[in-house]
Structure 1
Amino acid sequence: MSAEATTPSTEQPKVPIEQNRSPDRYAIILRSKRQIVLTGSETEEEAREAEKQPVHIQGLPKFMSFHEQRTHMKQKLAAGFRLMALYRYDEGVAGHMTFRDPEYPDLFWVNSLAQYFGHIKASDLVLVDHQGKIVRGNTVVNKAAFMIHGAIHGARDDVICAVHTHSIYGRTFSTFGRELLPISQDSCAFHGAHSVYPDFGGVVYTPEEGQNLVKALGPTNKALILQNHGLLTTGKTVDEAIWWFLAMERCCESQILAESAHPNGWKDLKLIDDQVARGVYQNIGDAQAGYMQFQPLYQMITKMQPDCLE
């Protein structure tokens, strides 16, 4: 969890992701020993100084207080809502994203009911408990959001953030009632890490339906295809969970297009070997990779719509 105790905010919070994976699996991090001078743009002294500069390795931020971490996470979630609106993954009042509070892990932040994703700011988010009661905020919350996300956060301590919207390709692919196939490098990010919930029982308004979704998601999967409904993704960070949703939606689109282009549908597709797909997953499918993948999108949307951080 992002924080296990309800201690004062002066305590250094825990960063909710493993950081023991070396970044050299996807980035060049060593500086060359070759000495050169870029003629016309630097002197020999400037060149020698440049060679001494350490290479910056982007990683997870560190926080001095729970307040600082909470603000950061709220801003990331608000930026995620703006991206969902930009990509037209919103649908009326349907769709919700939540994250577990870093100081009080039995509470989670969520969007209010009937607010356009493209207008959501960090300050608009509502804090609720696992009994469906509002702790902070003065707007109502989607009941289905509580039933789905409350069940997931209650059952999976590793899930910091959960994402579910009614995106067009996700809900279309969900009608197949089957998992994604390893047909591309990108789809390998979900290989062996997602499942299908085959029993659509209507809008999720009961605790029983929420528990059924949790059971279908399983103890370790990061994503779930809800048959006749859509997609749900989770993550150890807000960044990761949002990225997996965006990536899974595109994988659904890719497979629909690929199957449509073949006379025999999925039976004609060339699948990546299982062992190879599992190897690719180890490189692009873990929490650290998901976190990194989100950063360019976060930079883009916050520059386009900086008010989401307010």
Structure 2
Amino acid sequence: MSPVADPVSRNDSSAIPQAARSAGVGTFPRPPTFTTKEEEREYLKFRLAQAFRIFGKLGYDEGVAGHITVRDPVRPDCFWVNPFGKHFSLIQPSDLILVDHHANVQINESGPNKLLNKAAFMIHSAIHEARPDVNCAAHSHSVYGRAFSTLGKELDMITQDSCAFYKDHGVYRQYGGVVLDEEEGAHIVKALGSKKAVILQNHGILVGTTSIEATVHFFIALEKSCQVQLMADAAAAGTGGKIIKISEAEAAMTYGVVGTMAGGWFSGRPHFQLLEAQEGSSFRFGSGK
């Protein structure tokens, strides 16, 4: 089975908004469909492992910090997460851990390293439980996201790309240390609200969306938007200039093109296409891997 052409996201029955559709001429692709939930599980595990390797290639690793999760389609009360202590660049589908919302690692389904990162569990279990629409969430200690997080502020709408987060990201303006308890996870969820991203003060960035592809795209986009704003702020301060911000109306219009979930899925696909070309491996529909 292969993807069929249709401009909708896998978890959204509505078409890509007209504003986003106007960016292309022709028919947009659609995420794959599956004959069984088990096949969907294998695909999501394959895709999640790819996402980790993409993060590894981009340098979004910092020792053992960082995690990406995806909700399990067979058991929606569980999610897949990386084993604690394995480098992102090495993760394969067979390495992933399946855990429920009570921190119980599902032994039979999980990989050989069943060590669970407690911070990953506290953050992601809270998000997946509070936000049924979030199928994939990612957090890592990326360099520019970390640097920008020290400012404790939202992004300014200064570029077309930053408009993907117009009124769709929050700030958690409190650093409570390493997230090792439920209360801190709840605080992060509250700061995230119904948005797709949150800047964690003195910590880094977090993105949660309807798909692995959209999460990877918007995480990269947020990291780069943080980088651009840091550079623009420094350039303005150094030259005595003033940053030109995008107006509210223009930011809202641009968000309708670059900030949607379906658009995020579409924009995230090239990262996986590149990885598959480099590795010579892609998911074989109907084969279970």
Instruction: Tell me if TM exceeds 0.5.
Output: yes
1:284 lines up with 2:258 in the alignment = yes
* 1:237 to 2:234 alignment: no
CA-to-aligned-CA distance 1:123-151 (integer Å, 9 cap, x gap): 21110000011013142110000000000
Report which of the two structures shows the higher radius of gyration computed on alpha carbons: 1
8 Å Cα contact 2:71/2:136 also seen in 1: yes
Tell me the residue number matched to 1:182.
Answer: 157
CA distance in 2 between counterparts of 1:222 and 1:278 reads 16
Separation in 1 of the partners of 2:255 and 2:30? Answer: 20
Which residue among 200, 222, 243 is the counterpart of 1:226? 200
Calculate percent identity across the aligned residue pairs.
41
Within 5 Å, which residues of 2 pair with 1:118-133?
118-133=89-104
The alignment partner of 2:236 has SS state of coil
The equivalent of 1:254 in structure 2 is 228
The correspondence for 1:104, drawn from 63, 66, 75, is 75
Structure 1 Cα separation of the partners of residues 258 and 271 of structure 2: 17
Q: Which moved more, 1:291-300 or 1:264-273?
A: 264-273
Aligned equivalent of 1:205? 180
Report the residue type matching 2:15 in the other structure.
Answer: N
Quote the Cα distance in structure 1 between the aligned partners of 2:239 and 2:121: 37
> Offset of 1:19 from its aligned partner?
4.1
Aligned length: 270
Q: TM-score, normalised by structure 1?
A: 0.83
Pairing 1:169–2:164 present: no
Residue by residue, what CA displacement relative to the aligned partner does 1:225-266 show, whole Å, maximum 9, x if unpaired?
000000000110111111111110000000011011012799
Distance 1:132 1:64, change over 3 A: same
User: What is the TM-score with the length of structure 2 in the denominator?
Assistant: 0.89
Counterpart of 2:260 in structure 1: which amino acid?
D
Mapped to 2, the partners of 1:169 and 1:233 lie a distance apart of 15
1:274 aligns with 2:248: yes
Distance across 1 between alignment mates of 2:91 and 2:12: 26
Indicate the SS of the match to 1:162. strand
Unaligned runs of 5+ in 1: 1-13, 30-55
- Matched to 2:22, the amino acid is R
- RMSD of aligned Cα (Å): 1.9
Q: Counterpart of 2:273?
A: 299
Q: Assess if the C-alpha contact under 8 Å between 1:158 and 1:236 holds in 2.
A: yes
Partner residue of 1:90?
61
Give the structure 1 partner of residue 41 of structure 2. Answer: 70
2:117 aligned partner, one-letter code: N
The equivalent of 1:61 in structure 2 is 32
The DSSP-based 3-state class of the residue aligned with 1:176 is: coil
Partners in 1 of 2:240 and 2:208 — Cα distance? 27
Query: Residue 155 of structure 1 is aligned with which of 130, 141, 154?
Result: 130
State whether residues 145 and 205 of structure 2, in contact with CA within 8 Å, keep that contact through their aligned partners in structure 1: yes
Within 2, Cα distance between the matches of 1:298 and 1:253? 23
Corresponding position of 1:33:
none
Give the C-alpha shift of residue 59 in structure 1: 1.3
Match of 2:118 among 135, 143, 151: 143
Match of 1:27 among 8, 24, 36: 24
How far apart are 1:267 and its partner, in Å? 8.5
Q: 1:154 corresponds to which letter in structure 2?
A: E
SS in 2 for 1:60: coil
Is contact 1:194–1:223 with CA below 8 Å preserved after alignment?
yes
